[in-house]
Structures are given as structure tokens and as C-alpha cells.
């Protein structure tokens, strides 16, 4: 099973780290893609905060380029291991077409 999880506010970052960990522990989980957008985009520059996800082989951390522009975050500010996508909406649609389960925090 592959899951795409979106996080749209800073208040939900801690919960997203816990959720990604729990989801990745499920035997049937192949990948959990955590997409940070809007206020949640703050997570992608905080290497120490998202370290558990970056070290988890079943979790991929993704930054929304549109949200980065809105928050004046440059690509070189992303924590190492964070994947950049130009627009989270396109990423979500693409993943849903690929059969990912879609969860929103």
C-alpha cells in the first residue's frame, strides 16, 4: 500500500511526524509520501524536527513549490532529503492516479 499524506498547517507538523511513523510501521505499507504545503511548509526547512521521517526508508518528505514561493523559501533551504515538487495539487492528483491512498491531516 502507498499513501500520500498532506499537511497544511504548522500546528499539524508534530502530528504528521507521528502519523508517518505509525503508517510506515504497518507491514503492508510500501511508502508514505508526506506533502507539506501552506503553513505546514515550515517543516521542510527544520532538519532536526523532521529527522525521524528523513531517516525512515518508507517515508518521503515532499515540499510544495507553490507554498515555498508564498513563504519565501528557496530550494537550497530545504533539509537534505526533502523532495521538491512545483505544485502539491499536481503531485496529489498524480499519486491518486497511481493508486495511492490519500490522507489529510
16 pLDDT tier (thresholds 50, 70, 90): very high
- Give the Cα separation of 96 and 101 in Å (integer): 7
Contacts of 44 (CB under 8 A, 6+ apart): 36, 50, 61, 63, 68, 73, 78, 79, 82
Task: Provide mean pLDDT across the span 16-41.
Answer: 98
Q: How high is the pLDDT of residue 22?
A: 98
Task: Provide mean pLDDT across the span 9-13.
Answer: 97
- Give the Cα separation of 55 and 96 in Å (integer): 25
Q: How high is the pLDDT of residue 57?
A: 97
What would the pLDDT profile of 40-95 be if each residue is shown by its tens digit?
Answer: 999 999 999 999 999 999 999 999 999 999 999 999 999 999 999 999 999 999 99
- 29, HSE (Cβ side, Cα atoms, 13 Å): 20
Enumerate the domain spans of the chain: 2-104
Q: What is the CATH number of domain 2-104?
A: 3.40.1260.10
Pairing mode, strands 101-104 and 59-64: unpaired
103 pLDDT tier (thresholds 50, 70, 90): very high
Amino acid at each position: 500500500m502507498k499513501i500520500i499524506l498532506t499537511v497544511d498547517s504548522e500546528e499539524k507538523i508534530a502530528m504528521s511526524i507521528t502519523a508517518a511513523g505509525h503508517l510506515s510501521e504497518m507491514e503492508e505499507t510500501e511508502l508514505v509520501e508526506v506533502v507539506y504545503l501552506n503553513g505546514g511548509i515550515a517543516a521542510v526547512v527544520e532538519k532536526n524536527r523532521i529527522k525521524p521521517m528523513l531517516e525512515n526508508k518508507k517515508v518521503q518528505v515532499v515540499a510544495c513549490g507553490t507554498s515555498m514561493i508564498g513563504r519565501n523559501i528557496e530550494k537550497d533551504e530545504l533539509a537534505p532529503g526533502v523532495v521538491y515538487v512545483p505544485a502539491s495539487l499536481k503531485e496529489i492528483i498524480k499519486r491518486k492516479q497511481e493508486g495511492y491512498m490519500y490522507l489529510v491531516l
